[in-house]
Amino acid sequence: MTDQLLALIIVLGVGWFWLDAARAREMAVGLAQRACKERDVQLLDQAVALRRLGLRWRSRGLRIRRVYRFEFSEEGIGRRTGYLVLLGLELVDLSLGLPQLSDDA
């Protein structure tokens, strides 16, 4: 009986992780698209790639930290790389490696 319970817990844990990863990836694609649109650059391949996966302790407990990489083009010719970092489902960093926009512009 305990072996079956343990197997069920493992299957549920894997299922939860898979759904959480899919939700985080969807969120990362949306954030990358929005950032590219705001900076008037083109998100290439409409995709992000998971580069790192780790765990971080926060005041609300243990969170999964994911670093995603994506490519974009400023003029449709070359490729540049940007990244974003999600802690759980919260965006903590996003960079296109471009100069910051001023509020005066």
Q: Which amino acid is at 4?
A: Q
- pLDDT one-digit tens code per residue, 47-80: 999 999 999 988 888 999 999 999 999 887 788 9
pLDDT average, residue stretch 20-33: 95
Q: pTM of this prediction?
A: 0.82
pLDDT average, residue stretch 12-28: 94
List the structure tokens of 9.
């817990």
Q: What is the mean pLDDT of the chain?
A: 89
β-strands 61-73, 42-43: how paired? antiparallel
- pLDDT one-digit tens code per residue, 78-89: 889 999 999 999
Asked whether the beta carbons of 56 and 63 are under 8 A apart, the reply is yes
In this prediction, residue 42 carries a pLDDT of: 92
